[in-house]
Structure 1
Amino acid sequence: MGPTSDEDYDYLFKVVLIGDSAVGKSNLLSRFTHNEFNQDSKSTIGVEFATRTIEVDKKVIKAQIWDTAGQERYRAITSAYYRGALGALLVYDMTRRVTFESLVRWLKELREHTDQHIVLMLVGNKADLRHLRAVTTDDSKVFAERENTFFMETSALEAINVENAFSEVLSQIYRMISRRALDAGGSNPANLPKGQIINVGNKDDVSAVKRGRCCA
């Protein structure tokens, strides 16, 4: 699972969850950070976040994952919510096509408030409701390739691909940070200050990593 000490980590990466209300963002967060699922989960009010540590290339990554209400009336928090985010999960409910169509607007807002090189993961949640599917895997792959994101279908209820989706985002952030440190003159990324939320750049690097990578 990770180190027992909450302070025992090499990097702190902020990741945000975005998408319409009731697509399962809060349950994805609780499944990844506490391995819990709440069948009666209420809509998030304002902002919540939780943390979990994982290991990537023998480095301990502490993920600080932020979850926000999808309702319009809470949208005034966006600037603070997105600030410093290095990764984002764009979540839709695969049984409700309107939540998939909303991602264009969410992605536009995300890109207005974050660094252009943020690592993005398209997440089709509620994959356990296969008989109610309203968004095809092919449609999602087309979106992911067009928008240069990763893609996975998940079920927070059945714990399908939740671990993989978050871990892939965190691993890609780490690899991007490591490449940038090397490009900057061979310095070791481990020498960066512990717990620093790192702003990333170098568009070509990220595009090469992300393009065409679907993880369904």
Structure 2
Amino acid sequence: MSEGASSTAAAAPKKAGGSVGGTLAPLAKYKLVFLGDQSVGKTSIITRFMYDNFDRHYQATIGIDFLSKTMYLEDRTVRLQLWDTAGQERFRSLIPSYIRDSSVAVVVYDVTNRASFLNTSKWVEDVRAERGNDVVICLVGNKTDLGNDKRQVSTEEGEEKASKDGLLFMECSAKAGYNVKSLFRKLATSLPGKQSKQEHTV
């Protein structure tokens, strides 16, 4: 499996390479919304996946950012629409509208910040309130590169919470690039059979 070139919301819709009855089939689009407290690394994970780089200068996301990328799976080609949300409390009122038609919710915490892990419960609750069980939720522990001496949340604790709440789970390091591609591969292969009901533009 490989990934296609990136684009922003302004890009024209693309068609899948396969044909159905001699005509190009529309490319299936799936909305992935990234949630979590401020500075846990949501933007960095997306940036690592999209461009394979890491910006050492932290800049808080203001409101919502949108990027998309094509992924070629063994049995289909999909377009992942990545919605990067702000973690600050003042933007909380915006979040439900972006969760509403999502296919996947990625709830991120910082493994060196226990409060951000505890707060994942409220983010998961927000997703369930809008989407019920009609969504894939993945719990992601970021910043594993900082080492075990700085860890405040063990891998086992993250796995236990994910298992209890019925979530996918993975740890990664956006800075080191560890497990980021594997994360998106897991998300892409877990996508439900239907795509997003509507497509926002920004």
**What TM-score do you get using the length of structure 1 for normalisation?**
0.78
151, 154, 162: which one pairs with 1:144?
A: 162
Q: CA deviation at 1:6?
A: 6.2
Matched, 1:110 2:111: no
Matched, 1:85 2:111: no
| Partner residue, 1:177 | 193
Is the CA contact (8 Å cut-off) linking 1:122 and 1:144 kept in structure 2?
Answer: yes
Matched, 1:157 2:175: yes
Number of positions where the alignment pairs a residue of Structure 1 with one of Structure 2: 180
| Partner residue, 1:64 | 81
Give the unaligned 5+ runs of structure 2: 6-11, 17-26
Q: Which amino acid aligns with 2:90?
A: R
Q: CA deviation at 1:3?
A: 4.2
Q: Which amino acid aligns with 1:132?
A: K
Select the structure that is richer in strand: 2
Q: CA deviation at 1:26?
A: 0.4
Matched, 1:135 2:153: yes
Q: Which amino acid aligns with 2:177?
A: A
* Helix, strand or coil at the partner of 2:56: coil
What is the aligned-residue identity percentage? 32
Deviations 1:115-139 (A, max 9, x none): 4221111110001011311101111
Deviations 1:46-94 (A, max 9, x none): 0001111111223111100101111110111123211210111110000
* Helix, strand or coil at the partner of 2:15: coil
Q: CA deviation at 1:158?
A: 0.6
Is the CA contact (8 Å cut-off) linking 2:4 and 2:72 kept in structure 1?
Answer: no
Q: Which amino acid aligns with 1:171?
A: T
Matched, 1:18 2:35: yes
Deviations 1:154-197 (A, max 9, x none): 00001111111122112111xx318xxxxxxxxxxxxxxxxx52
Is the CA contact (8 Å cut-off) linking 2:103 and 2:135 kept in structure 1?
Answer: yes
Is the CA contact (8 Å cut-off) linking 2:85 and 2:95 kept in structure 1?
Answer: no
In 2: Cα distance, 1:52 partner to 1:41 partner: 23
* Helix, strand or coil at the partner of 1:128: helix
In terms of mean alpha carbon deviation, does 79-88 or 121-130 score higher? 79-88
Deviations 1:8-47 (A, max 9, x none): 3331000011110000000001111121211103010000
In 2: Cα distance, 1:147 partner to 1:27 partner: 25
**What TM-score do you get using the length of structure 2 for normalisation?**
0.83
Change (3 A) 1:141 1:105: same
Is the CA contact (8 Å cut-off) linking 1:87 and 1:170 kept in structure 2?
Answer: no
In 2: Cα distance, 1:28 partner to 1:142 partner: 23
Change (3 A) 1:6 1:56: same
| Partner residue, 1:34 | 51
Q: Which amino acid aligns with 1:197?
A: S
